[in-house]
């Protein structure tokens, strides 16, 4: 069952850094803003514990959210989340309203499949290198995936999968690919395990240097 996220929020009229600081310190609220869909931006406050719990789920960042603003439910996606540099604390959140008939641009995570059975690892002794862990996609809200699967089973040693090699769900595109071949970045590759090769070479050298057994 797909995850669902609904956050209760209240509008706030007291703006500015001082007001935001008071929200965080005294009311345990997170200052936020919601904008887009042809409507005026609204400054909001959201209970910190509710937002923190929601962000513990990876799907929160690539999912259509319901923001309940004083009883009015608005569909949105998270566009920015500011965290405290040293404390477990969310400092600010930006939400973008969505319309079902308008494409949205969202970052979604990769889920890498069959790493243990990857040909380049299992038979070639290679090492998997993850060059990207998430990707920016564009689609209608109804086609938004929680993640993109990347199957590594058939990838051999010395091979790489680029963005253009990834099988995308229906209705999903990668905007970067429209900019040309130079933007077709490597997502994941299977490389020679240099450390294992070096250890193997060292073992072989020790065997060659060992004195022959006397007869």
pLDDT in tens, 18-58: 656 666 655 688 999 999 999 999 999 999 999 999 999 99
CA 108 to chain centroid:
5
Which pLDDT score is estimated for 67? Answer: 97
Q: Where is mean pLDDT largest: 12-21, 155-164, 203-212?
A: 155-164
**Is pLDDT above 90 for 149?**
yes
CA angle 60, 65, 67 (to 5 degrees): 125
| 6-99: CATH topology | Ribosomal Protein L25; Chain P (2.40.240)
pLDDT tens figures, 186-206: 999 999 987 655 555 555 555
CATH 2.170.120.20 in the chain is located at 105-199
**Is pLDDT above 80 for 121?**
yes
The band of 124, judged by pLDDT with boundaries at 50, 70 and 90, is confident
CATH 2.40.240.10 in the chain is located at 6-99
Sheet with strand 148-151: strands edge to edge: 134-139, 104-113, 148-151
Closest CA relative to residue 172, chosen from 205, 201, 202, 146: 146
**Tokens representing residue 179 in the block:** 């900019």
Q: State how beta strands 104-113 and 148-151 pair.
A: parallel
pLDDT tens figures, 89-118: 999 999 999 999 999 999 999 999 999 999
Which pLDDT score is estimated for 205? Answer: 53
Query: CB within 8 A of 53, min separation 6: which ones?
Result: none
3-class SS of residue 198: helix
The band of 14, judged by pLDDT with boundaries at 50, 70 and 90, is low
**Is pLDDT above 70 for 120?**
yes
CB atoms < 10 A from the CB of 88, how many?
A: 7
Which pLDDT score is estimated for 193? Answer: 83
- Name the maximum alpha-carbon separation found in the chain: 95
Give the residue-averaged pLDDT of 153-161: 96
| 105-199: CATH topology | RNA Polymerase Alpha Subunit; Chain A, domain 2 (2.170.120)
Q: Output the pTM of the full model.
A: 0.79
Cα Rg of the chain, angstroms: 24
Name which residue leads in pLDDT, 3 or 101.
101
Which pLDDT score is estimated for 1? Answer: 44
Which pLDDT score is estimated for 19? Answer: 59
d(CA 121, CA 180): 31
d(CA 13, CA 173): 39
Q: Which residue has the tokens 């963005």?
A: 163
């Amino acid at each position: 069952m797909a995850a669902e996220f609904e956050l209760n929020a209240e509008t706030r009229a007291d703006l500015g850094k001082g007001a935001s600081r008071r929200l965080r310190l005294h009311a345990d609220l997170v200052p936020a803003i919601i904008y887009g869909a042809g409507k005026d931006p609204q400054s909001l406050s959201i209970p910190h514990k509710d937002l923190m719990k929601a962000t513990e789920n990876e799907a929160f960042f690539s999912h259509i959210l319901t923001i309940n603003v004083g009883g009015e439910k608005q569909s949105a996606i998270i566009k920015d989340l500011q965290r405290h540099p040293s404390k477990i604390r969310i400092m600010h959140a930006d939400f973008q309203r969505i319309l079902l008939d308008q494409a949205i641009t969202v970052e979604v995570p990769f889920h890498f499949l069959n790493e243990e059975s990857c040909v380049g690892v299992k038979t070639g002794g290679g090492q998997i290198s993850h060059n990207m862990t998430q990707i920016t996609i564009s689609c209608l809200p109804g086609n938004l995936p929680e993640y993109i699967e990347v199957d590594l089973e058939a990838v051999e040693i010395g091979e790489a999968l680029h963005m253009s090699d990834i099988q995308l769900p229906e209705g999903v595109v990668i905007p970067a690919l429209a900019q040309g071949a130079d933007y077709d970045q490597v997502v994941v590759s299977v490389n020679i395990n240099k450390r294992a090769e070096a250890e193997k070479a060292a073992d072989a050298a020790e065997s060659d240097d060992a004195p022959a057994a006397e007869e």
